[in-house]
Amino acid sequence: MAAAAAVAEQAASGSTGGAPHVLVVPYPAQGHMQPLLHLASLLAARGLRITVAATPATAHLLAPLLAAHPSSVRPLTFPSAADHDTSGPTSWLRSDSGRVVAVISDFFCGWTQPLAAEAGVPRLVFAPSGALATAATHSLFRRMPRPPPPMEGDAARWRGFAVSFPDLPGAPAFPWPQISRMYRSYAEGGAGAGGKHAEAIKDNFLWNLESAAFVCNTCHPLEGKYLDAQPLVDLAGKRVWAVGPVAPPPPETESTGGGATDDVTAWLDAFPDASVAYVSFGTMMVPPPGHAAALASALERSGTPFVWAAAAETALPDGFEARAVAARTGLVLRRWAPQVAALRHRATGCFVTHCGWNSVMEACAAGVPMLAWPMAADQFFNARLVVEEAHVAVAASWGGFGGVPDVEDLVRALDEVVGEGGAGVRARAKELAVMVAEAMGEGGSSRRELDGLVQELRELGSGR
């Protein structure tokens, strides 16, 4: 209690001069960068000094963090990490201003592991994915499973091959097409196919396994099955700090500034509780035209009202938007969408999602059931978790980019999750939301994990 009081007093006073200093290195992609910046804010609020590495292209994204913690957070701009030039970070870490007790970096920044080792400080890997996806991804590069050579003339190639993960609880298995393309490309073509780039990807994940610990944007109510099984062989037996969700809770009062949030809220206000489908495939995922057309047709046939946050490149069927506007049954947004506000609105009955981890965490915190439509990357792991383990989602399709689902199957899936038909899955989603909130509250599992992480960083600081 005395240590906690000291942290609170230090944070309140704005004094962080003697606090442990941590270098935070995000990966320059929004889905990776934002959660790590949220974690940096949580650490700064607990009295730590934070230096955040940025590139010229991402430095502006640090503005909210710097404004919130002007005395304890500072930026450090380096050339793009894609240049593989670590001379700048190395020189900084060797300088007096770069005296840090630890490096916390995204799991796509494996190059910081030898950098931290050279500086004599531990590196902690930040995983913007869940524990299942993080462990499974590292398992692939640790074990290097490969499908058998295809038979001559076998057009299906490796369609029936599945990868099992025997060291994870329940030994889950996933069909080869559901394994991330990043790994499949390496395994199917061998290192020679991708050259130095392919080997760099493999080295990245193997470097992560040399780290001191993993910090994961997840929580026990959602992934206790995997977190309670620590140490995980697939993460080299390293400690996993489950500190999520790291995103701050939404403001208690709704926006009144006349922006996108107010527009969407006003539109949703006209509909009954749990009757609207919110649709988004994330900031980087654009559904192929056939997939978008199937979903558009299913929404129209089922009569489900919707808000569709569509990327500018998303090709929707001719006349679809006009019909939705005329009938007042749908709203298509081709700009930034207030996803958190939309998910927490009483009228939203389901979230049609690609199951990117940030979207999954936002849905779980909001208590909204999902219509899971994974496409790539870690999304199949995440979808399996929410559909088959947490039971807060219904599968829209398991075919990814390669398979367009039948429209009638999509209509039935919508009926299972929106309105009266979704009462059961919605009740489970609400229960999970309560548990997630409790995990983040005083004495909750995520709060204890965050406090434990801060204490570990403070102990590292006291030894330097």
Q: Tell me what pLDDT residue 159 has.
A: 64
Q: Tell me what pLDDT residue 46 has.
A: 96
Q: Tell me what pLDDT residue 254 has.
A: 52
- Tell me the HSE value of 401 on the side-chain side, using a 13 A CA sphere: 11
pLDDT in tens, 285-332: 888 999 999 999 999 999 999 999 988 888 899 999 999 988 889 999
What one-character-per-residue DSSP string does 34-74 give? HHHHHHHHHHHHTT-EEEEEE-TTTGGGGHHHHHH-TTTEE
262-266, 355-359, 364-368: least confident range: 262-266
Asked if 392 and 386 touch (Cβ cutoff 8 Å), the reply is: yes
Question: Which burial class, exposed, middle or buried, applies to 114 when counting CB atoms under 10 A from its CB (0-12, 13-18, 19+)?
Answer: middle
Question: 440 is written with which tokens?
Answer: 């983040």
Which of 124, 78, 126 shows the shortest CA–CA distance to 103?
Answer: 124
pLDDT surpassing 70 at residue 252: no
pLDDT surpassing 90 at residue 61: yes
pTM: 0.90
Mean pLDDT of 162-182: 94
Strand partners, 404: none
Cα(445)–Cα(220) distance, rounded to whole angstroms? 7
Mention every residue, 6+ apart, whose C-beta is less than 8 A from residue 140. 163, 179, 180, 183, 205
Question: 312 is written with which tokens?
Answer: 């500018």
Query: Longest Cα pair distance anywhere in the chain, in angstroms?
Result: 72
CA distances from 182 to 51, 198, 359, 367, 444 (A): 30, 9, 21, 32, 36
Mean pLDDT of 254-274: 78
pLDDT in tens, 275-296: 999 999 987 788 899 999 999 9
Question: 195 is written with which tokens?
Answer: 């050259």
pLDDT surpassing 70 at residue 178: yes
